[in-house]
Amino acid sequence: MAKLQHPRLPGARDHFEEKGSFYFVMDYVEGEDLETIWKREVPNGFPEERVKKIACEVLEILEYLHSLNPPVVYRDLKPSNIMIRKQDKAVVLIDFGIARAVHSNATRKTAIGTEGYAPPEQYRGNPEPRSGLYALGATMHHLLTGVEPIPFHFDPVRTLRPDISAQMETVLPRALEMDPERRFSSAREMRETLEGKATSAPTVKAGKRKSSSARTGAPNMLPGILATRRH
């Protein structure tokens, strides 16, 4: 994997193998993860502007990872892996144990991630940069509503939080599309849409997602195919 150098990523100090397992030695990040903050402070949902700010910072990190050659796909984006650094309140991604570089000629990889946040293609062992946009969408939905995600099913955010803006109601379904081709084309496009800088807004109808789209393949794929890593 490429050497990561970004102010919002912990530095990798060393790596080693022991008893057939590989380990990374990463910089210690002092702060709290979003799952801890959510459980303590806002179990019914974060304010929208707070979630938007966090999401844009995460997307800046994803832009960097996806710009590397080859791109690095962070395959375990979820609230417990997003830290708010104590010294400057900046967002930091932690736990790169299952991140990997994705080569254009790569064959199928092992399915891994966290149930509810991982997109369909990751269950099939074929993660790509847009997989992170789905995981971020699932994370944002969780933080906004207080409802932990069920694989491939997300109720329209305004049915749970009527105060959420029309913009957020439009962004989340697009990030959570089952087909990567229907999501935002890049982390940059999603960030610019959240910031109101996109040249054109995505056209997605509000309302409950159809079961054929939201649940395709989920019942038979769940048992034994995904490594669940809840903290």
Ordered per-residue pLDDT tens for the chain, 231 residues: 455 667 666 655 555 566 765 455 566 678 999 999 999 999 999 999 999 999 999 999 999 999 988 888 888 999 999 999 999 999 998 876 544 445 444 444 555 778 999 999 998 889 999 999 999 999 999 999 999 999 999 999 999 999 999 999 999 999 999 999 999 999 999 999 999 986 644 444 434 344 333 333 343 333 333 333 344
Cβ atoms of 159 and 147 within 8 Å: the answer is no
Active site residue ranges: 76
In a domain, 75, yes or no: no
In a domain, 62, yes or no: no
In a domain, 212, yes or no: yes
CATH of the domain at 41: 1.10.510.10
Strands (E), 34-108: 72-73, 82-85, 91-93, 100-101
Describe the strand order of the beta sheet including 82-85 as a list of residue ranges.
Answer: 31-33, 82-85, 91-93
Cβ atoms of 154 and 148 within 8 Å: the answer is no
In a domain, 6, yes or no: no
In a domain, 97, yes or no: yes
φ and ψ of 133, to 5 deg:
-70, -35
Domain membership of residue 107 as a residue range: 33-46+80-221
In a domain, 15, yes or no: no
pTM: 0.76
The count of domains in the chain is 1
The owner of tokens 């955010």 is 157
In a domain, 214, yes or no: yes
